[in-house]
Amino acid sequence: MAKRFGGKYSPGDGTTPEAAPPRGGFDGARVDPVGAKANLLFLPPVILGFFSLNDGALGMALGLSAAAVLILAAWLLRDGLRAEAAYDDRKVARRPALPRKILASALTGIGVAMASYASEPGIVAPAIFGVVATLLHGAAFGIDPLKDKGMEGIDTFQQNRVARVVDEAETHLKAMTDAIKRAGDRTAEARLERFQTTVRQMVRTVEEDPRDLTGARRYLGVYLFGARDATAKFADIHARTRDAKARADYMQLLDDLDAGFSARTRKMLLEDRSDLDVEIGVLRDRLAREGVRLDPQSPE
């Protein structure tokens, strides 16, 4: 008997337009913005501290102090790169409260100046080395974002309320990530990461329109708190007993939560679209009352 050919790109393959395509395992994966270039900055202060041990009391103290300053600069740079990545990832974001990358550049210059003073005492040479190191560091890694992004027309009080809820949600997500590692199950970790991507999509929606906070507060608060506790309990049970039923129940819980969060996010987006349609309709009515012709084909 002849069989009709069908496939992903064939018409009438049984899929509906509303059905969302399945997400891959790497959908929403985050790459650590701290690369090898930033991590290598921890190496020079270690070498400096090691060689300064044979420079006498004064040389050793100066060398170890310079090494400590350079390590602090490298640590601040790592945090600054992560804060900048979080800023770039959001459409609505506040500038970092502490300009870590700028401070890292300044501390790098100070550390280099201190290290150069040990071999070339004086003011001019260490100052030159310090200024050059600061400029090169700034050119290599850039500076911190210095202004808020996408905050025009947003109520500051509402945005602060959103920030508190978002910070609480991120705390729960981090606790879930830490807890699931105890289970030692890579499949469960990957499934949890996909659920966290869904949660962060809701977070971004709320950040872009704080009016959605009312509908999302229960999800980002109560439901996420429950998911955190369930993850911690599953990790402890699975680490001890490798209970297959507990694992299946936990994976089903994540599926249910993922579907619920996704549905709520879609509903918020549809409500935002409805509000836009209402605003457009009101403006069209006002223009019509003012005698403005809205027909694009009509002569001016």
Q: How confident is the model over 166-195, as a mean pLDDT?
A: 89
pLDDT at residue 296 in the model:
52
DSSP calls for 49-115? HHHGGGSHHHHHHHHHHHHHHHHHHHHHHHHHHHHHHHHHH-SSBPPPSS-HHHHHHHHHHHHHHHH
pLDDT in tens, 62-72: 889 999 999 99
Q: Which of 212, 124, 221 is nearest to 172 (CA)?
A: 221
Q: How confident is the model over 23-45, as a mean pLDDT?
A: 72
* pLDDT reading at 90 higher than 60: yes
Question: DSSP 3-state assignment of 289?
Answer: helix
* pLDDT reading at 113 higher than 90: yes
**pLDDT confidence bin for 159, thresholds 50/70/90:** confident
* pLDDT reading at 6 higher than 80: no
Amino acid found at 243 = D
Question: DSSP 3-state assignment of 25?
Answer: coil
**pLDDT confidence bin for 111, thresholds 50/70/90:** very high
| Higher pLDDT pick, 103 / 157 | 103
Angle formed by the axes of helices 100-119 and 56-89, nearest 10°: 160
Q: Which has the minimum average pLDDT: 2-16, 109-123, 132-146?
A: 2-16
Mean pLDDT of the chain: 79
Q: Are the CB atoms for 28 and 194 separated by under 8 Å?
A: yes
How many whole angstroms separate alpha carbon 257 and alpha carbon 172?
A: 14
Which H or E run includes 3?
none
pLDDT in tens, 238-275: 888 888 898 999 999 999 999 989 888 888 877 656 55
Question: DSSP 3-state assignment of 247?
Answer: helix
Q: How confident is the model over 217-222, as a mean pLDDT?
A: 85
Q: Where are the domains of the chain?
A: 36-141, 156-288
pLDDT at residue 242 in the model:
87
pLDDT at residue 207 in the model:
78
